[in-house]
A and B are shown apart, each in its own frame.
Chain A
Amino acid sequence: MDKLVAVNDLKIGMYVKLRSDWIRGTDLSREFFITDPGQLRRIKNLPLRYDKVYVDIDKQWQPSHVDDLSHTAEQENPQEEQPRHTPLDRQARQKIMDSVKSAASDPAMEPSQKAAAVYYSVKELMYELFECPTAEFIQDSKEVVGSLVDMVLDDDEAAHALIKVTQHDFYTYTHSVNVGTLSVCLAKKLFQRDPSHDMREMGAGFFLHDLGKVRVGKEILNKPSRLDEHEMKRMRTHPYQSFKILQETSQLSEECRIIAMQHHERDDGTGYPLRLSGNQIHDYGRICCIADVYDALTAKRVYKEAMSPFQALKIMREEMLSHFHKEIFHNFVLLFSK
């Protein structure tokens, strides 16, 4: 679990998570265990807002963990803790995939525990994917999302716990996992077990809807303040770029690539890029659009506070209802009613 901690309260052994725009130009990694006082000092010198940083309080520091290959750079050169991200190798990814699969299908595990285990592992793999969006990584993500989809379909309690476990930070991959999770739950509610819908394929489409953001300039993506009009327009390239990545890497059916392409279209025709309206928008796109708006509203940004789920749903109903398919939105609200 991530917790905001004042920099003066940071201690050696804590697992700290920093924003990429804070660490630009420094030798600090985005996430790491604090292992020496020099790191503490350097974190305090960062251009932080409110002098607080996120710490994952569940992560326990295990010094010199031998089989963790991604730490080799740190050991060889202690001055530059993981200066660049080293992608996980096939074996490490397989390990994550296996652990998700076994957790998702473990009947003995508590639903909330199961949901948390699956959520964090999927998140870990999605982080890798956004660092390195190759066909191979997309394939692995599909597999891991598949296990999550199976769990949502088979275990109502775990599905509900999954909605509660969603967390927020500033990263696209976290947002993707949240939107993916909510969309899969909504799709389950809408389609039940209708065999004409391939839920695993669709699920992958939901999780990968924002992949095209890797093609939006880093200076825009990581900008710490509100985007200006031109930057906002450049951000609008991401649905089509997601669609193109999935096409170029021959991943997903045409129907599920549509999710990426249509997740910013709106029912009243005011969306983008094709300004589609009403029935021109695929149900899968409509689902993703609703989950996407909800997650954006409930997320905290540097320039805005997070809304509670209730506030977000209220605003969506009172001020944005024309953007959504009414019946699908109604079903989305019901997801939170238990």
Chain B
Amino acid sequence: MASKWLCAVCDYTYDPEQGDPEAHIPPGTPFEELPEDWLCPDCGARRLSFDRIE
């Protein structure tokens, strides 16, 4: 199962099972496959601000 990732800025968790509907990221998308310009839906941080949690 793909890992969850935590935003170091705001504690939002990216859960690949959920995806990010607001940004049209379908459920099942692993963090690694998010587009380069994807931003944290809560705080707007870039991908590089995320850490793998499980």
Chain A contact residues, CB within 8 Å of chain B: 230, 233-234, 236-237, 239-241, 243, 261, 272-275
Verify B9–A233 contact, CB threshold 8 A.
yes
A273 touches B43 (CB 8 A): yes
Q: Which residue from A234, A239, A240, A274 sits with its C-beta under 8 Å from B11?
A: A234
Q: Residue B2 at the A interface, CB < 8 A?
A: no
Which A residues are in CB contact (< 8 Å) with B12? 237
> Chain A residues near B40 (CB, 8 Å)?
240, 273
Interface check B10, CB cutoff 8 A: yes
- A272 CB contact (under 8 Å) in B9, B11, B39: B9
**By the criterion CB–CB under 8 Å, are A237 and B46 in contact?**
no
Q: A272-B9, A273-B10 are in contact. Are A236 and B43 (CB under 8 A)?
A: yes
Residues on the A chain within 8 Å of B44, using CB: 239-240, 243, 261, 273-274
Assess whether B42 is in contact with A275, with CB atoms less than 8 Å apart: no
Residues of A near B45 (CB, < 8 A) are 272-275
Q: Is B49 an interface residue (CB 8 A)?
A: yes
A237 with B49, Cβ < 8 A, contacts A243-B44, A273-B44, A274-B44 known: no
User: What are 29 A-B pairs with beta-carbon distances under 8 A?
Assistant: A230-B11, A233-B9, A233-B10, A236-B9, A236-B10, A236-B43, A237-B10, A237-B12, A237-B42, A239-B43, A239-B44, A240-B39, A240-B40, A240-B43, A240-B44, A241-B42, A243-B44, A261-B44, A272-B9, A272-B43, A272-B45, A273-B39, A273-B40, A273-B43, A273-B45, A274-B45, A275-B45, A275-B46, A275-B49
Top 4 closest pairs, chain A to chain B, by CB? A240-B44, A273-B45, A273-B44, A233-B11
Chain B: minimal CB distance from A278 (Å): 17
Extra 20 A-B pairs, beta carbons < 8 Å, given A237-B10, A239-B43, A274-B44: A230-B11, A233-B9, A233-B11, A236-B43, A237-B12, A239-B44, A240-B39, A240-B42, A241-B42, A243-B44, A261-B44, A272-B9, A272-B43, A273-B9, A273-B39, A273-B40, A273-B43, A273-B44, A274-B46, A275-B45
Tell me the interface secondary structure of chain A in the complex. Answer: helix
Q: B7's closest neighbor in chain A, by CB?
A: A233
Contact code string B25-52 (vs A, CB < 8 Å = 1, else 0): 0000000000000011011111001000
List chain A residues, Cβ under 8 A from B9: 233, 236, 272-273
Which residue of chain B lies nearest to A261 when distances are taken between CB atoms in the complex?
A: B44
Residues of B within 8 A of A233 (CB): 9-11
In the complex, A230 Cα to B42 Cα: how many Å?
A: 14
CA distance A274 to B9 in the complex (A): 9
Contact status A234-B10, CB under 8 Å: yes
Chain A residues positioned under 8 Å from B46 (CB to CB): 274-275
* Complex alpha-carbon distance, A274 and B38, angstroms: 12
Q: Which residues of B contact A261 (CB under 8 A)?
A: 44
- In the complex formed, the residue of A with least CB distance to B48 is A275
CA distance in complex: A234, B42 (Å):
9
Residues of chain A with a CB closer than 8 A to B49's CB: 273, 275
* Assembly CA distance A233 to B9 (angstroms): 6
Q: How far is the CA of A241 from the CA of B40 in the complex (A)?
A: 11
Cβ–Cβ < 8 Å partners of B39 in chain A: 240, 273
* Complex Cα–Cα for A241 and B49 (A): 18
Measured in the bound complex, the distance between the Cα atoms of B10 and A194 in whole Å is 38
Of A234, A239, A243, the most chain B CB neighbours within 10 A belong to A234
